[in-house]
């Protein structure tokens, strides 16, 4: 089997960050004048295409895909209506531009995949795990910390904006746990960026200490030697713990309906 290097780009993570940089010089009182919107969109498309070129040049992938969120609210909102509450919505003129951006990426031979009811994160996790289980290499391009929980010998995460790989050493330094313990860590502390609640009074340092001692959240919940006050907190919040963990967990079993060969890149991008 020829070696595969699949690059999965968290499309809106890339586009929205690039858009914010392009929009900034034109903002007046936090608003964008109508006559400058087209200019900002044009600049955004140019910058996104340049970013894609740089990613392909650096990664030399054999396969590549831009992965987009579902247009409809994803399943997490049904479970928890406050999910991502207060998060700034994508400007409508940028949302309207997405099909043109997808066409521009296609001119660079990179197709786009949009989920029906999942987030891009779930699609990326499904694809990454599927390919990694076959012993093939996957690089996720995103600044979203959720992908760090997927890190292993075959899956790496690259932060395009800071030009660095977010590896196991990075996870250890930033969170003081292993990548496999991150979902448990965030279940305890909550995830403020997505408005997912944690256990009140359990911060990152405490959560990391507990997970390093007990190994996992399940082991912690059944431990008999923890302080009574903590035991009570965990016991009274058991339903919330289960909900938070479900919201944080990336789905890895979405039916994809296409093969790797459908997203193979022309040979000039590949190191092969």
The CATH 1.10.150.20 domain(s) of the chain lie at 174-248
d(CA 216, CA 140): 25
Lowest-confidence region among 62-66, 128-132, 203-207, 255-259: 255-259
Across 88-96, average pLDDT: 93
- The dotted CATH code for 5-171+251-269 is 3.40.50.1010
Residue 157, beta-bridge partner list:
140
Closest by CA position to 8, among listed 102, 148, 123, 134: 123
pLDDT digits (tens, 9 = 90+) for 197-214: 999 989 999 999 999 999
- Is 199 a known ligand-binding residue? yes
Check whether 124 is labelled as a binding-site residue: no
Q: What is the pTM of this model?
A: 0.94
Instruction: Determine the Cα angle at 107 with ends 132 and 139, to 5°.
Output: 20
Q: What mean pLDDT do residues 168-189 have?
A: 97
**pLDDT tens per residue across span 213-250:** 999 999 999 999 999 999 999 999 999 999 999 999 99
**188 assigned to a ligand binding site:** yes
**Looking at residue 272, what is its pLDDT?**
45
The CATH code of the domain at 174-248 is 1.10.150.20
Rounded to an integer, what distance in angstroms lies between the CA atom of residue 147 and that of residue 250? 9
**Is it the case that residue 86 has pLDDT exceeding 90?**
no
Cα 234 versus chain centre, distance: 28
Q: Which residue spans of the chain are classified as CATH 3.40.50.1010?
A: 5-171+251-269
């Amino acid at each position: 089997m020829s070696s595969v290097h699949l690059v999965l780009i968290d499309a809106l993570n890339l586009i929205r960050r690039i858009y914010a940089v392009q929009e900034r010089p034109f903002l007046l009182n936090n608003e964008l004048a109508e006559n400058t919107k087209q200019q900002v969109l044009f600049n955004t498309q140019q910058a996104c295409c340049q970013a894609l070129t740089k990613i392909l040049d650096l990664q030399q992938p054999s396969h590549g895909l831009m992965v987009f969120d579902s247009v409809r609210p994803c399943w997490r909102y049904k479970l928890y209506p406050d999910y991502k509450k207060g998060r700034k919505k994508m400007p409508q003129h940028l949302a309207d531009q997405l099909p043109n951006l997808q066409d521009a990426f296609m001119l660079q031979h990179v197709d786009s995949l949009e989920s029906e009811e999942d987030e891009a994160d779930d699609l990326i996790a499904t694809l990454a795990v599927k390919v990694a289980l076959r012993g093939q290499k996957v690089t996720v391009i995103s600044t979203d910390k959720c992908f760090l929980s997927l890190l292993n010998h075959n899956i790496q995460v690259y932060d395009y904006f800071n030009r660095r790989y977010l590896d196991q050493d990075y996870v250890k330094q930033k969170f003081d746990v292993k990548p496999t313990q991150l979902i448990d860590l965030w279940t305890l502390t909550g995830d403020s960026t997505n408005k997912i609640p944690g256990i009140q009074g359990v911060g990152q340092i405490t959560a990391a200490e507990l997970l390093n001692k007990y190994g996992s959240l399940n082991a912690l919940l059944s431990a008999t030697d923890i302080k009574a006050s903590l035991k009570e907190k965990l016991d009274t919040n058991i339903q919330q713990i289960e909900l938070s963990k479900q919201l944080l967990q990336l789905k890895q079993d979405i039916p994809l309906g296409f093969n790797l060969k459908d997203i193979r890149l022309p040979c000039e991008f590949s190191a092969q």
